[in-house]
Structure 1
Amino acid sequence: MNRLLDSGRSYWMRTAPFPSFAPLAGDAEADAAVIGSGIVGLSTAWELARAGLRVVVLEADRLAGGVTGHTTGKLTALHTAAYDTLRSKHGEDAASRYAASQSTALRRVIDVAGELGVDCELEVRPALTYCEQPEGVDALRAEAEAARAAGLGASFVTASGLPFPIAGAVRVEDQAQFHPLKYLRGLVEDIVALGGRIHEGTRVTELVDGNPCRLTTASGATVSARHVVVATHHPVFDHALLATRLTQHRDLVIAGVIPADRDPEGLYITEEGGKRSVRTAPLSDGGRLLIVTGEMFTPGSGGDTEAGYDRLQSWAEQHFPGFTLSHRWAAQDNSATDKLPLIGRLPTDGDNVYVATGFAGWGMTGGVLAGMVITSLVNGEPEPWGGLYDPGRLGPALRSAPEFLKAQWDVGKRFVKDRLDTLGEGTHGPVSSLRPGEGTVVRAGGEPCAVHRDDQGELHAVSAVCTHLGCLVAFNNAERTWECPCHGSRFGIDGEILQGPALRPLERRDPGEL
């Protein structure tokens, strides 16, 4: 299999560099502070700035370098097989509001890109949820009917632009795809033009709600703001315990060149075979970049991620003759147990702290939607779409009690197993047997220790206890990261935070004491 020396950095991040912004150097005041700079954070900051508020954006690392920087950039209201599930769980009205809101978010991107003159490679395409096996046809027929009843122009078809036969598909016209970072770069430029402040390298470590709210950063600088938006994918401030209603998953992504005349000209997804999502993007030489996603897994599961990449590449080469691998990366997302995103006021805090999370892999429309919903609430306007996404909702949460209990059982089971497991010779063998690029969790001095041997043979050791809620991390052999299976926090080999909800790095250990 082809190995990429620069794997991990997405195509979007390589082709749309952002301007740099200095860390927050002193105390600041704002009407609204937005924590996080993915599509949720920047869309919300832009909507608020356009509404006349003084906005400050606080990013722990680099702009759009987290989940949004690793997405596939689909803009569609057809979310795999969501509508039949929504109708059965929450009723036809909820499914209709979901379709209307997601479609509105799609149109919002098109309108904003046109208004700001942003060249974000936006292309209108049909979206299809398909199956290759005849056993999946009945479910897709039901999904087509449910999506059509919800207001989408959905139809069931048996043909597509894919270069292989399908058994059936749900098709919705006039959906879209874009370069997400080129779009967000346009928003950033307008936020600054509107007087907004943006600070990278500024990790918020404390939030005290009030009027105003007070944010404290890792450097000790503070921000006072009348409104605070927690836009960190998984909420890093979670007084309402939303984490108990979220499950984590990670997808592998590969991309490679195909001839333009082999472009399937659509947004495709199937749940078969470990999930496969397909789209293309334009290249400057007239060719097309095929982007394939799949091999979904739980962060920290300890599986062979490298083998997952190999399976994905084999699938692409088999199904798209002429595919040549050029990029690979991975994306992480979370899903609410009741299948509806959580967007709005953060329960248990005051009425001026907001959150958006749980997009189940559809964060492009979901993130834009979040900016619209939160801005309406900040302005004191009626909540759009009748509170469908309210994080404090009770009815849908009660109806999803089995999924909620299963999620908590999985977390609790992992937490207990970690503490009963003596680790013996280590999760992947003793430290002495580690080869370059490998990692293992062992017990050293009575404490679990995460150990990695780099390509030069040097050992790196950190505590294996996640600083969020104390589960043990596991090694991802393809991305060379430590990942928590409970709530999805990710750390570098020397313990630095790559992804929350953890707010503190893993403590370093002396490899010489192992």
Structure 2
Amino acid sequence: MTEKQQTGDSYWLRTAPDGRHPALSGDLEVDVAVIGAGIAGLCTAWELTRAGRSVAVLEAGRVAAGVTGHTSAKVTAQHTLIYDKLRRTRGSEGARLYARSQSEAIEHTADVVAELGVDCEWERRSAYTFVRDGSGVEELRAEARAAREAGLPASFVTGTGLPFPVAGAVEVTGQVQFHPRKYLLALARDIVARGGRIHEDTTVVGLEEGTPCRLSTSTGATVTARDVVVATHYPVFDRALLFTRLSSRRELVVAGPIPAGQDPEGMYITQEENTRSVRTAPYGEDGSRRLLVVTGEHFTPGTGDPRAGFDRLSAWAREHFPGVELTYSWATQDNDPTDTVPLVGPLHPGARHTYVATGFGGWGMSGGMMAGLLLTAQITGEKCEWSGLYDPRRLASTVREAPSFLKHQAQVAMHFVGDRLRPSPPVEALPPGEGAVVRVDGGRLAVYRDDEGSLHAVSARCTHMGCLVDFNAAERAWECPCHGSRFDTDGKVVQGPATRPLERRDI
């Protein structure tokens, strides 16, 4: 990326039709209200609609345009190095349930694709976790054994389709890659065809639990529902303090066409080099090219220099796939649970009709599909074998993995206090296209100078919990390093958990 170049919409958003849905304009009563129209929310809504429930999906932005619209879209039960860890922390049965829940969700989705006749570029591929440094081979061998014991078709291999040698890899066969937005737009159409409601540009700002529950929205309308599902990636309503068990991570993506002969014919990931993930997708009409998608350079929102990360990622892609023209760049965001396993189930210990799906740790495609099946079973009163594994109310695993929890809280505290002590530049020094947190009359303002030279000033305090935001110059957005909330240059919420904008200020 050049110094002033910005990242933009993902390839998935640019290449799928934009089916728009109206904002909620009047009060509504349904069996289930689903907050969030990403993969977890839409999969849950579709399953519930098919089960005969009346459902309303409420989305602050556009359907499948948030985190789901910026994913790498690998649909796999192989989640880097997870099964050996699960075997140690959850036992062999916990690892088996995790593998089974993810795999059954994938195969169920394959049936849905066939049932609805969705053209979403559904392709079977092997998934690989690899290392180039020989010191990581024994860890991979242990992971291959644990994944195989958990029920996955896993093996340790030393040869892959990558254009460079590897020291070793875990291969899991029969996994999937697809076009996520094409799939989810098809689900949305079918939800509406079955009598469901979808409302975009409708932010839910209040939740009153009870029998029934009531939601207040940014449009002034109220939604009454027996059950409510919070599927906003990071919970916008957090009665169980789940934010203490989630850490946000932002990751960069570059993509562009390569000759079909350069296709590595698999989905690859390594934790080396600050993560490198590789896959391809169909590109063009004649099959002579594929779209290379490379992901990596993860960082905490509101920290670091994403522009330098884009440069490193682009250089890596060009080194290993000579001639690739990187025509797309974007970024995505993930929430990592401190104890490895996603949080899907009742919203808090006293919840009777409120549910949550969050903490997918970068594997939201299979995780969101799994969440749709799990939450539907809980809401309709069916049994689900893996409910206990994902239950947000679990305590034993949280205590067992206390070091991760304490590390996350220490980082949050460091930002909450330390960011208030850092020096600030003078407003006059801000060049066009840049932003910074500056001191004005003893307070802190987030100030951005647009390309025409005009200043835009907003409060620097995140409306979620009061941490100071910082400027992401690559995406021209204000980001909170504590819990990942993101705002545009005028303070409008781009990504939660914040639901209120940064207040505008005069400067």
TM-score by length of 2: 0.98
Q: Which amino acid aligns with 2:410?
A: W
Q: Residue 166 of structure 2 corresponds to which residue in structure 1?
A: 166
Structure 2: distance between partners of 1:321 and 1:502: 42
Structure 2 equivalent of residue 289 of structure 1: 291
1:448 aligns with 444
* Alignment correspondent of 2:475: 479
One-letter identity of the residue aligned with 2:275: K
Among 472, 483, 508, the alignment partner of 2:504 is 508
Structure 1 segments (4+ residues) deviating >2 Å: 1-7
Structure 1 contact 34–57 (Cα < 8 Å) conserved: yes
Do the aligned partners of 2:64 and 2:185 also contact (CA within 8 Å) in 1? no
How far did residue 384 of structure 1 move?
3.1
Cα contact 1:239–1:348 (8 A) shared by 2 = no
Distance 2:6 2:496 in 1: 24
What are the within-5 Å matches in structure 2 for residues 148-227 of structure 1? 148-227=148-227
One-letter amino acid of the structure 2 residue matched with residue 117 of structure 1: G
SS in 1 for 2:20: coil
SS in 2 for 1:77: coil
AA in 2 matched with 1:345 = P
Corresponding position of 2:131: 131
SS at match of 1:231: strand
Aligned match of 2:430: 434
Shift of 1:136: 1.3
Alpha-carbon offset, residue 350 of structure 1: 2.8
* Counterpart residue number, 1:299: 301
User: Which amino acid in structure 2 is aligned with residue 51 of structure 1?
Assistant: A
Tell me the equivalent position of 1:241. Answer: 241
Q: Please state how far the C-alpha of 1:5 moved relative to its aligned partner.
A: 6.1
Question: Mapping of 1:293-372 within 5 angstroms?
Answer: 293-301=295-303, 303-372=304-373
Question: 1:386: how far off?
Answer: 4.6
Distance (whole Å) between structure 2 residues aligned to residue 289 and residue 147 of structure 1: 29
| Corresponding residue number in structure 2 for 1:103 | 103
1:378 is aligned with what amino acid? I
Q: Does 1:459 find its partner at 2:460?
A: no
Give the aligned partner of residue 250 of structure 2. 250
SS at match of 1:325: coil
CA distance in 1, matches of 2:430, 2:387: 55
What is the CA-CA distance between 1:413 and the residue it aligns to?
A: 2.1
Match of 1:21, SS state, is: coil
Q: Secondary structure at the match of 2:356?
A: strand
Report the 3-state secondary structure (helix = DSSP H, G, I; strand = E; otherwise coil) of the residue aligned with 2:139.
helix
- RMSD over aligned Cα, in angstroms? 1.2
1:21 correspondence with 2:21 = yes
Gap change, CA 1:85 and 1:151, over 3 Å in 2: same
Deviation string, structure 1 residues 365-411 (Cα, Å, up to 9, x no partner): 00010000000000111233151100001111111111111111211
Distance 1:293 1:500 in 2: 22
Are positions 1:83 and 2:83 aligned together?
A: yes
Task: Give how far 1:219 is off.
Answer: 2.2
Gaps of 5+ in 2: none
Distance in 1, Cα, partners of 2:418 & 2:5: 36
Correspondences of 1:59-70 after superposition (within 5 Å): 59-70=59-70
Q: Which residue identity lines up with residue 40 of structure 1 in the other structure?
A: A
| Mapped contact 1:130–1:170 kept (Cα < 8 A) | yes
In structure 1, what residue type is equivalent to 2:474?
Answer: A
* Identical residues among aligned pairs (%): 61
Amino acid at match of 2:294: V
Deviation at 1:347, TM superposition (A): 1.1
CA distance in 1, matches of 2:387, 2:476: 44
**1:179 shift after superposition:** 0.2
In 2, Cα distance between equivalents of 1:386 and 1:492: 37
Q: Please tell me whether the aligned partners of residues 6 and 475 of structure 2 are also in contact (alpha carbons under 8 angstroms).
A: no
1:288 Cα deviation after fit: 0.3
Answer yes or no: is the 8 Å Cα contact 2:6–2:476 preserved in 1: no
**Residue 3 of structure 1: how far off its partner (Å):** 8.0
Aligned equivalents of 1:368, 1:452: Cα separation in 2? 39
- Higher alpha-carbon deviation: 205-214 or 390-399: 390-399
Which residue matches 1:58?
58
2:356 & 2:387 partners in 1: Cα distance?
A: 17
| Distance in 2 of aligned mates of 1:143 and 1:271 | 14
Equivalent position SS for 1:277: strand
Shift of 1:7: 3.0
Aligned counterpart, 1:402: 403
Deviation at 1:417, TM superposition (A): 1.8
- Give the letter aligned to residue 396 of structure 2: G
Q: Deviations over 1:334-355 (max 9, x none)?
A: 0111100000111144311000
The answer as to whether partners of 1:210 and 1:350 remain within 8 angstroms in 2 is: no
- Secondary structure at the aligned position of 1:56 is classed as strand
Note the alpha carbon deviations across 1:206-242, whole angstroms, 9 max, x for none: 0000010000001221000000000000000001101
Q: 5+ residue gaps in structure 1?
A: none
CA distance in 1, matches of 2:181, 2:45: 15
Q: Report the Cα offset of residue 265 of structure 1.
A: 0.4
Tell me if the contact between 2:433 and 2:448 (Cα under 8 Å) persists in the aligned partners.
yes
Q: Is the 8 A contact 2:345 2:387 kept in 1?
A: no
Matches within 5 A, 1:259-298: 259-285=259-285, 286=287, 287-298=289-300
Q: Distance in 2 between matches of 1:298 and 1:374?
A: 30
**1-side partners of 2:385 and 2:233: how far apart?**
21
Give the CA deviation at 1:4. Answer: 9.3
Distance 1:384 1:357 in 2: 19
Quote the Cα distance in structure 1 between the aligned partners of 2:263 and 2:310: 22
| Distance (whole Å) between structure 1 residues aligned to residue 308 and residue 155 of structure 2 | 36
Cα distance in 1 between the residues matched to 2:290 and 2:175: 19
**AA paired with 1:206?**
G
Provide Cα deviations, 1:299-335, integer angstroms capped at 9, x if missing partner. Answer: 011x111010000000000011121111000000101
Of 487, 490, 497, the residue aligned with 1:491 is 487
Q: Distance in 2 between matches of 1:55 and 1:101?
A: 24
